[in-house]
Each structure stands twice: as C-alpha cells, then as structure tokens.
Structure 1
Amino acid sequence: MKYEKKWLETDVLIVGGGIAGCLAGIKAVEAGVSCTILEKSNTKRSGNAGAGIDHLFSYIPPLHEKTGYTIEEMKVDQNKMEFCDQGLGFPELNDFFVEHSYERILELEKYGLKFRFPDSKIPGGFRVVSQFHSVPTSLNFEGKDLKRVLTQEAEKAGVRIYNRVFVTELLKDGDAVCGAVAIGTRENVIYVVKAKTTILATAGGVDRLCRSATGVDFERFHAPSMNNGAGKVLAVRAGADVINLEYILSQGSSEWLNWTMGAGAPGGTYWPCGRIVDEQGNVVVNRNTAFDVEDPDYKEKHQKQFEEYCRERGKMKERLAAGEQLYLDFSEASDEEIEYVRWSLGHEGKCNTILRNMEAKGIRFQDVRIPYQYTDLVQTACTSSGVYVNVRCETTVERLYASGNEMGGVSNNSAPEAVVFGMEAGIRAAEKAKEISEAGKVDERQVEQMKALVESFWENEDGDSWIDTEHAVQDIVNTFGTSPHTDKKSKDALEALRRLEQNLHLKAKSPHEVGRCLDALFILETAKSVFEACRNRKHTLGSFVKESGEKVEKAAPRKATMYGIYKKDEKYCFHTIQP
C-alpha cells in the first residue's frame, strides 16, 4: 500500500492538542504567526483532560492574601512535591508556575468556563478545595467540556488542526529542528511539515508501558489510554535531553476493584465528605473540613489538617499490602455534601461513568463503600520525568520547545502547569519564529525511511500484531522493572527488548492499525530509554532503589545529580545536569 506525501508549512508546529497544545496554539496565533497542531486523536477529547477536569490548583490572591498564606509559602509547598526537594526538579519552573498560575488559569473564563458561583462564601466567588498544598488551592470549576471549548477557541483564532495524525519523527536541519513527519491514521497519507519552531505538547504519560492493574487493555488510572511516551521518544531521537526516566517505574499501588479512577479519594473530587474506613468502619483517613475564611486561624487549622491527612494517606498502601481491606465511605455525608460530590464527579475525567452506573442501579453514595485493592504490579509514575527545559520552555535542541505534561523537573506536573506553560511555550515559540526567515531544509531521507516503514506494515501479511508486541514489551517491563533495580535486571531487559525489536515484523490491515503499530514501536523505544536510565543511575536516591549484588547502594551525595538521556548517531548518551 503506497502512501501519498502531503507537504505543509507553518511558523509554529505543535505536536499534541491537549490543554497545553491548544493554549500554545492560541497564544502563537495571537502573537501574529501561523500555527499548526498535529493530534493523533481528536483535540475535542484528547489529552489527559480529554474526559474533563473539575479542578486546577493555583495561588488565589483574594483567598490566600486574606488568610495569610503567601505566594512564597505556596512556592515552598510546590517545591516539596515529587523529587524537587531531593534535587531532581527545578525550583525556577515551580516558582514561575506559582507566580503566573492565577492570571493564566482565569484566562479560561473568557472562553465561557465557569469558575465563580453565587453560593460561594470564598472571596472572588470561587469554590476552593484542599488537594496538594498545605492550605486549599484547587479551584473547582465546570471543566467537563474544557477540551471541546479550547478546540473551538483554537480554530476561531486561526490555528490549523489536523486530527488522527501520528507524529513519528522530528525533522532536523543541522542542529535545529525544522518540522516533523507524521502518518495519517484514517488515510494513507504521510505529512511532511516544515516549521520555524516546534513545540512538544504531548500528554507526557507512558502508561501503556505496563499492564493495566485491572488486567484490561487500555484501562488506565485517570490518564488516557493512548499515552505511549511519544513526546519523550521524539525528543530523545532529536538529541534533546529527557530527565528522570529512571523514576518512571514504581511497584505497588492502591486501586479500586475493576475501576482505577480514584480522583484523589478521599479528598479532591470526593471533597468534602469522602473518607477511608476499614472493614469495621473505623476511620483510616478522615474527611476534610472547610474552615471559615473569617477564622483568624484558617491557615494554621488547614495546615494541621493537611499534615494529618498526608500522614494517614501514607499508611494506606502499607495496610493494603498487609492484607487489610479498606473502603471509600460516605455514610455520614449529608445530601447537600453528596450533591457537591456529584457535581465534581460530573466534570472530572472518567468519573461521570461512576455517576451513570450508580444512577442506573438506583444506588445512593451513603449506602455503598467502594473497596480498594493492592496490586504489586509494576506501574508508571513520576510526573517530573520529561523533556529538560528552561522557564522559556526551550529544550537543549535549537528551535524545539516542550510544554505542559511533557516538561521534566516540574513538581506534580498536571493540568494547571499545562495551562501556564502551554501559554508560555506558544508565546516564546512565536517570538523565535518571527526571528527566522526560513524553516530549514528537510532531509528527504528521514521522510523516505518512515514511508518505507509504514508501507512495510501492509506487506507483512503473516507478521506480528501490534497488540502482541505491546504485551511482549509490558511483560518485559513487569519482569525486570521491579524494585530494587539492578544493573543485571536492566541489562537483561535491554537484551530482551533488542531481541524483540530485531525480530519484529509488524502487520497492519488498515490506517488505524498502522497507528497501533507505531504505538507499539514507541512503547518499545520508551522501555529501552527507561532501562538505559535505570542502568545509568548508580545510587539509591528517593524512590529509586539501586542494589548491587546483595547490597543496596548508599544514597548519592547530598547534592543530587540529574541525568539527561538523548540519542546521538542512534546511540543512547547521557548528560550530567546539576539542578
């Protein structure tokens, strides 16, 4: 099956049309340049927020200044998350986020998204709940259709959007990125896009690296089922540093039986009345109290409550692993509190399916306990792994930017950061594009190699299926990705992955299956990068435990070393990066 080439040219090219990608596109066009988004799904429901979102955390001056919580205190809270306080993140990125969070998140109001409510008792008319910081910082809003709205706004602004297009390679002219090659997954078309600047705004997740905790393909905790590590692979291949990949794999997690959407339970979307109890109904994790903003001790009371909440949540995994059964419980909730939870669930991710199922069965929240289970499977974690960038979203490769969830070194990198840094990347990439007269020369060999690869899928009638290949990679990850990590495990994993790659002959019978085959290749290459990173780090640091023989290696020196992995002449290389 032959592929037709379609040439496109743009000032700014954005790979991925999630929150960050759409907002980057809007800002780029507002700055006076042309912009094109390539999205492998459909921007109306793609990305980590594709199914909706009910909260975005931010510094909120009307509330926080009144209650004595300073912007500097939120910076401290933000820099404690993930691995930043261990030296594996960048305070300047977290500080930038906190400083710009309020103004940029509330820009979403001009698109018709509702953040203010007449029944609110909080300054500004907001609904604010506790989630990740020592005082409540999460703005509850009506974000079920956030992606549909952002798509409309991007198209209205003049952004060209190509859906069902899988970006497979970044094009380079010398040391600079000059566009991308992409494959249509609904038609036999190969897109060759010339661009003055390029932004990686992919989802950042690598969830399909591991088997689902429920055992069902594409059933994922919160994240969309399409996350395959594409942005990281594209960056590494282009020679850009990707950091903290060794922290991707984790082992042991608490999930819900047959459903992995916890949404921050018992807090978050289940505020204000969710709590966790044991089989006898004893409270394990208490519900959160919303203290009166007029209370002079508002900040101190919330900080004490948050400290206790974190301590209680920290014991959950240990208790589940020991065989205890724990439940999410609403038995003491009022009808008014349940209505608030139902409103939140209606806007957050896949949670609306819980609502529909309970409504169909006539089940009240107060009458049911949702059981947790402990799984010892290797899973993916670490939102601070990603492409190494500065506060201007510039990578280590000229004319290449990264934003949102694809950025590395950002604490708890999620939707709020996608808003802030999506806008920033669009502004900065547009500024750079205005300085450049020509996108650069396309190396036709890159295009022809990719064309030959996808055409070969159609010819391999007796070849390997994409799903079997994906399962094979997942089995290797689940076998060798266990903690503690060792050089022997990493070596054996890499040998198994290379044997798989060498003997692989993928087959496809439709453009859709071509996309799935490309997924499988990206998942395979993501696994290789992760195990290379695991082998490269020699010391235990934070959640990464390295063992040599019978001995667990001592922690690294006090000042942590960060490693950036990239490819040069098809070989994996590492930079040492000092935060």
Structure 2
Amino acid sequence: MIDIDRKPIETDVLIMGGGIAGLMAGIRAAGLGASVVIAEKANTRRSGCGATGNDHFMCYIPEVHGSDIGPIFEEYRRSQVGGFSDASLAMLFLRQSFDRVKDWEEWGISMRPWGHWDFSGHAFPGRPRVWLKYAGHNQKAVLTRKAKETGARIINRLQMTDVITQGGEIVGAIGISTRKEEPVMKIFRAKCVILATGCGSRLYPPPSPGWLFNTANCPVCTGSGQAIGYRAGARLVNMEFPQRHAGPRYFGRCGKATWIGLYKDPQGRIVGPFVKKADKKLGDITGDIWSSVFTDKHRSGEGPVYMDCSTTSDEDFQYMMWGLVQEGNTGMLDYMAREGIDPRKHMVEFMQYEPFLVGRGIEIDEKGETCIKGLFAAGDPVGNFRADCAGAATYGWIAGESAAGRAGRIRKFQTAEKGPLVEESQDFYGRILDRGQG
C-alpha cells in the first residue's frame, strides 16, 4: 500500500516538469498573477536535457537577419529540427524568439558572450545562419531563480503520473512525492495543466549497453508527458518517426555542431559535400542533414567516420572548447584530458546514437493547448513543433500565458480527488511497492 495525502494541493496552473519549457511557463503564468506549481521529479536547478547547459539557440533577430522573416523560416524548415513542425507554430515561434533571447539576457544568461549576436554552427554555406551562439552553462539555475522571484512554487522530487479530467476538461492531477524514504501519493486540484516533461530516452540500447545512463539526452526523461497525454485522450502525432542523434562513439553526448572540424573517413577523405575547411561560422553540417552517415559508412565498409580538428585554427579550437563547456560536455572533456586525447592530434570517431522521442508526441495549437480543454504542452513532448531549447523557452512562455488566461476565467476548483482514477492509482502503485521482486 502507498500512503496518500488526502489534502489536495490547489493551484491555478500546474506544470509537470521543471526543464526549460516548464520554468518558462511558470515564469510567465506567475508573472500574470496566476498561482503556479512546478512539479519536478529531480531538482529544477539541474534537470532535463538542458541541465548542464546548451550553446545554440535558434532565433530570428531582425537587426541581424533583416526585415524579411521568410528566408529564416525556410532555414528553420530545412534544419534538423524543422521537418515535422506545423508551419503556423514555427512562424509564431520565430516571431517571438528574439523576445525570449532578450529575456534570458536580462535575467543573467549570456546571450552574446562575445559582445555581439554571434550566429555560428548548424549552417549551410551561402545561406542565413539561424543558430545563436550563447553561454548556457547556467541556464537552469538562472531560470529557477527567476521562477521563484515571480512567485511560482517549485516542488522538487515530485513525479507526476496522471491528469484528472471531468467532462473532457482538466480538473487536477496525481503525483508521487519521493522526498522521503517512503513515497507519498499527492493529489492536485488545478484549473490548467501544462505537460513539459521532456523527451523519451532509453527506449533502445545506448552506445554502451552496460552503462544505461550513457545517453546523449537526459536519461531520466522517459516520455512520461506523451504517456500522460495519451491516457487522458490527447492526440499524439509523428510518434512513428523517432529521432536519432549523433556524436562521439561510446561517449553519448549532444553538441556535434559545437565541434569545429571536418567529417572524414579512415583515409582522411572528407565525407560531406559542404565544406573543405574547418570554420567556426559554418561547422560541418553533414552530420545534421545526413545523420545516418556514420551508420551508412560503417555498414558499407567505408567507415568509421571521424571528426578531424587537425586543420582547425587555434582561435577556432579555443572557441570550440569553450562551446563544449557551455553545452555541458565537461565530463567528456575531463575524460579526454585524463586519457591524453587531443582533437588537434587525434581524430575522434563519431557514431549515430539510439532512437529517442523528441518533437514527437502531443499535438498543440498556437496557444500551446491540446484537444483537451485546460491541458497544454510545451518543449520536447510536443509532436507538431520542435526547436529544442529555444522552442521550449518560447512555447513554454506561450503555454504559461494561455494557461494563466484560462485559469483566470474559471471561478472555482473542482473536487478532483473524488474521481475513480485516484483510488485506481493508489491500488496500482501500492501493488508495485508490495512486490517482493521485479
């Protein structure tokens, strides 16, 4: 049997997940006067795929890109994140993205660490560059502080498991607190819920199956938002197209566009058609648009494919190493230093990683709302839009604003704790806890 706290927690807006999207949703909703709870199963200061940092933020800045947003929209559509997004959601994101950049800089995240708007990496030669290079190592700590300043209540160590609906509308939710040795089931009365739970990792074996947490993305992001939405009746889209990332072999890490070098085969031949010289402004976009190149070359006997930084200038190499720190790859850098691996002397083998779910999941509209009244979603669990950290920040803000507006029009809370789902959940979780093994 699992203990249950029979006193419901009341909040206008309940946010499931304290990653980039969840914190931005909380900041906006609380700033508009709504009562907000951000429920995070870990700790918002270092949780989710943005836990240890990031260094690329897709955005449209008119003073850099000009007044015509059309070419920037096309670059987004052709990028590694734009292929499954609804056009209306993508355009809304781009139009609001610069506002979020300015917010982050005001709050203490360095969005122009070199004193100007620096667009580099993930880029095609001769085409607009749309990924802003920034110093994101402290982004989660900054957003956590800002959420608290605006009045959002953060509850860490609280795993949300289901939403409660009545008559097709959200009235509450269920979670399990793990703050103490014995878990306790918590019940919420909520006027709106925002699903911001992250991607779906560890669905397939990682690069080194014996190390289950050796994944490029957050290993404890398990696709729970998609599952919660599905059980509640939300529409899921693009679930049949899992994403595969790429990076250093056997050491799963994101940030392949942070590397400044050329993809080469064992004979030193460049495998992509885009660049012949390593340059920080472009990088080698081969890995973005032909992410299976690493697997394809391995299967054909022409591989493996390596990242070769031997021709990278000293200035660009230092820029690369700085970027890898901002991306959160300090563990990998420490390992390379300890083992004497110098990318200027040693080519680093890359591989295609296992499939995972990001930008595949819950369908939302331009307000961030699902087909269920009062249920919103933002960030990685959304299925018809994706732009990683930038998208999470922007649609988290949009969803927070929309949820706060809807909650303000609802006069009273419903008795969510009276529904059958609460008793069913208590029985189910209790049986799990009572197992002797497995």
TM-score, with normalisation over the residues of structure 2?
A: 0.90
- Superposition CA RMSD, Å: 2.5
Kindly indicate whether residue 368 of structure 2 is the aligned counterpart of residue 409 of structure 1. no
Kindly indicate whether residue 336 of structure 2 is the aligned counterpart of residue 358 of structure 1. yes
**Greater CA drift, 157-166 or 1-10:** 1-10
What do residues 387-436 of structure 1 show as CA deviations (whole Å, max 9, x unaligned)?
111110110001111112222211x4311100110100111100000000
Tell whether the 8 Å contact from 2:79 to 2:289 is kept in structure 1 after alignment.
Answer: no
- Structure with larger RCO (C-alpha < 8 A, sep 6+): 2
Q: 1:166 aligns with which of 159, 163, 169?
A: 159
Kindly indicate whether residue 219 of structure 2 is the aligned counterpart of residue 225 of structure 1. yes
* Helix, strand or coil at the partner of 1:161: strand
Kindly indicate whether residue 170 of structure 2 is the aligned counterpart of residue 177 of structure 1. yes
Deviation at 1:216, TM superposition (A): 3.1
What do residues 41-67 of structure 1 show as CA deviations (whole Å, max 9, x unaligned)?
1111111101211111111222212xx
Gap runs ≥5 in structure 1: 292-301, 465-579
Distance 2:4 2:292 in 1: 55
What do residues 115-139 of structure 1 show as CA deviations (whole Å, max 9, x unaligned)?
2245x5xxxx122203167422211
Kindly indicate whether residue 332 of structure 2 is the aligned counterpart of residue 343 of structure 1. no
Kindly indicate whether residue 432 of structure 2 is the aligned counterpart of residue 454 of structure 1. no
Alignment match, 1:261: 253
Identical aligned residues as a percent: 28
User: Rg larger in 1 or in 2?
Assistant: 1
Correspondence 1:198-277 to 2 at 5 A? 198-203=193-198, 205-248=199-242, 256-264=248-256, 268-270=257-259, 273-277=260-264
* Helix, strand or coil at the partner of 2:425: helix
Distance 1:183 1:456 in 2: 14
C-alpha distance 310-211 of structure 1, shift in aligned 2 (>3 A): closer
Letter in 2 for 1:97: F
Tell whether the 8 Å contact from 1:45 to 1:147 is kept in structure 2 after alignment.
Answer: yes
Distance 1:147 1:94 in 2: 24
Distance 1:32 1:43 in 2: 21
C-alpha distance 369-336 of structure 1, shift in aligned 2 (>3 A): same
Tell whether the 8 Å contact from 1:254 to 1:372 is kept in structure 2 after alignment.
Answer: yes
* Helix, strand or coil at the partner of 2:145: helix
Distance 1:357 1:310 in 2: 25
Bigger helix fraction: 1
Gap runs ≥5 in structure 2: none
Deviation at 1:144, TM superposition (A): 0.7
Q: 2:366 aligns with which of 369, 391, 394?
A: 391
Alignment match, 2:119: 128
Kindly indicate whether residue 70 of structure 2 is the aligned counterpart of residue 72 of structure 1. yes
Alignment match, 1:281: 268
Deviation at 1:336, TM superposition (A): 1.8
TM-score, with normalisation over the residues of structure 1?
A: 0.69
C-alpha distance 33-327 of structure 1, shift in aligned 2 (>3 A): same
Alignment match, 2:185: 190
Q: 1:430 aligns with which of 404, 407, 427?
A: 404
Tell whether the 8 Å contact from 1:214 to 1:257 is kept in structure 2 after alignment.
Answer: no
* Helix, strand or coil at the partner of 1:406: coil
What do residues 233-281 of structure 1 show as CA deviations (whole Å, max 9, x unaligned)?
110111111111122377xx765332122522xxx211xx321122222
Kindly indicate whether residue 107 of structure 2 is the aligned counterpart of residue 116 of structure 1. no
Letter in 1 for 2:304: Q
Distance 2:247 2:133 in 1: 24
Deviation at 1:2, TM superposition (A): 4.3
Correspondence 1:293-312 to 2 at 5 A? none
Alignment match, 1:477: none
C-alpha distance 215-309 of structure 1, shift in aligned 2 (>3 A): closer
Q: 1:95 aligns with which of 91, 99, 105?
A: 91
